[in-house]
Structure 1
Amino acid sequence: MEYQIRKDPSYAMVEVTLADGEQIETKPGVMMDRTGGIGNESDIGGDAGIAGTVGRMVSDERSLIDNTYYAQADDERVTLVPEHPGDIVALDMGERDELRVQSGSLLAWEPLVERSTEWNNRSNLFSSGELTVLGLSGRGMTFLSSFGSMVKREVTPENSLVVDEDHLVAWTAGMDLSREKDGSLKSTVLGGEGLVTRFNGEGEVWLQTRNPMLFYGAQAHEDDDSSGGIGVDDFL
């Protein structure tokens, strides 16, 4: 498999070129175009079938359906685009430690990349309440998307990192995470103090430069002429 990320960092797309028999799996609705020699299959619940559906019920993946695109000849191409304007990063899972990923950022992955839902009290880590934390391991390329540009931060034992949770895209597994109230942040759902996550240990954290909850909440507010201010309904 070969790939090229174009139009980054604002309106990124990834062009994946496959040899005969190679495959790429994606979340629903991200294909922009493909050449005529690319076939497509849809799978309910991923590799684990219906059992996988039960295990991933808290995920935001629409209808819990994965798409698989496969080449029926050499040099066939499929172009993938995120649902929102922003960046794409390609990560080789065979060359790094296991990752934790915000489920809405997972764009595409090779078949040998293993995914799991992390039942570690992180299902409510994000303000939307619809995103969960996925574990990524195994071998092969995975493509993550962000709302806005992608920024990578290093965490060391001497320097922890404090992050507004709605800017999180992915992080290295094995670091210690703690949640804290931060009066400098306005909660996008309930008002008052917001929550941040503190990362301790050693690893990497990928962030998105735009907060989708604030953006879409502002859009809803602009469309509601009767509203006297931003309230809970602006974010539902």
Structure 2
Amino acid sequence: MEFEIKGNPEFGEAVAQLESGDSFHAASGAMNWLRGPVSFKARLMGGLGKSLIRKVLGGTSMFVNEYKAIGPSQVAFSHMVAGTLVQMPITSEGMLIAGGSFTACTQGVNLRTRFGGFKAFFSGKGAFFIEASGSGEIFFGAYGAVVEKELDGELIVDNGHVLAWENTLDWSLKGAGGLKSTLFSGEGLVMRFSGRGRIWLQTRHLAGTAGWITPFLRA
């Protein structure tokens, strides 16, 4: 199984070249087109308890589609918004990915959901993360460009700009201001990272763009 990414950095799309028996998982809605004999079925990611996920699913889909080649075939997929598509091997320590950034992964990668806390859930930002472990390749997409940082110390990031990070980092999701501001304004929610490891950020914030467009829609 081989992958080729085209269209980066503005409109990244990956094309998977599959032989009989090859399979991979992609986020719900990520598939653009396919060619050849391919079967697919939806699966629910592990973690949190499946009943809980169904009740608090919100805007982040916890379903992934498994694509399996019955013969030589191709499947193209991309992230839901315009920007860079990143492909990288899972490190031995594992990674965490913002729920809305996960795009696809190969066989051998284990996916579990992680809850970001009720503060994130009620603010509507970053309620779920995806923990990826095992061996294989993972794909995640950015809104805008991707910035990779090698961290040795502390970093505070607006959580809307966080894409993924290595599991060697300690992290917490907190309000930068008071509780009222965090819960009701949608502002002031940040992620605090410390330790040593890599982190990937996106240069644009989808919620910020939506907020900028909204006044024009009301006009």
TM-score for both structures, normalised by structure 1: 0.79
Ranges of 4+ aligned residues in structure 1 off by more than 4 Å: 186-189
Counterpart Cα distance in 2 of 1:68 and 1:90: 18
Within-5 A mapping of 1:117-136? 117-119=113-115, 121=117, 124=120, 128-129=124-125, 131-136=127-132
Counterpart Cα distance in 1 of 2:158 and 2:85: 20
Matched letter for residue 172 of structure 1? E
User: Could you tell me which residue of structure 2 aligns to residue 201 of structure 1?
Assistant: 195
Q: Which of the residues 81, 87, 93 maps onto 2:78?
A: 81
1:109–1:142 Cα contact (<8 Å) kept = yes
User: Could you tell me which residue of structure 2 aligns to residue 160 of structure 1?
Assistant: 154
Q: 1:96 to 1:151 in 2, by over 3 A?
A: farther
Larger Rg belongs to? 1
Note if 1:33 corresponds to 2:33: yes
Structure 1 residue 127: Cα displacement: 5.0
1:14–1:81 Cα contact (<8 Å) kept = yes
Secondary structure at 1:220's aligned position in 2?
A: helix
Note if 1:106 corresponds to 2:102: yes
Long gaps (5+) in structure 1: 226-236
Note if 1:138 corresponds to 2:134: yes
Q: 1:172 to 1:102 in 2, by over 3 A?
A: same
Note if 1:222 corresponds to 2:219: no
Structure 1 residue 208: Cα displacement: 0.7
1:40–1:67 Cα contact (<8 Å) kept = yes
Quick check: 22-31 or 51-60, which moved more? 51-60
Counterpart Cα distance in 2 of 1:182 and 1:152: 27
Counterpart Cα distance in 1 of 2:69 and 2:116: 37
2:146–2:202 Cα contact (<8 Å) kept = yes
Long gaps (5+) in structure 2: none
1:146-180 CA distances to partner (integer Å, 9 max, x unpaired)? 11111111111xx4222121100111113222436
Judging by fraction of residues, say which structure has more strand: 2
1:38–1:71 Cα contact (<8 Å) kept = yes
Counterpart Cα distance in 1 of 2:127 and 2:37: 34
1:123–1:133 Cα contact (<8 Å) kept = no
Counterpart Cα distance in 1 of 2:115 and 2:170: 16
Counterpart Cα distance in 2 of 1:123 and 1:133: 14
Counterpart Cα distance in 2 of 1:115 and 1:123: 23
User: Could you tell me which residue of structure 2 aligns to residue 24 of structure 1?
Assistant: 24
Task: Give the percent of matched residue pairs that are identical in Structure 1 and Structure 2.
Answer: 26
User: Could you tell me which residue of structure 1 aligns to residue 42 of structure 2?
Assistant: 42
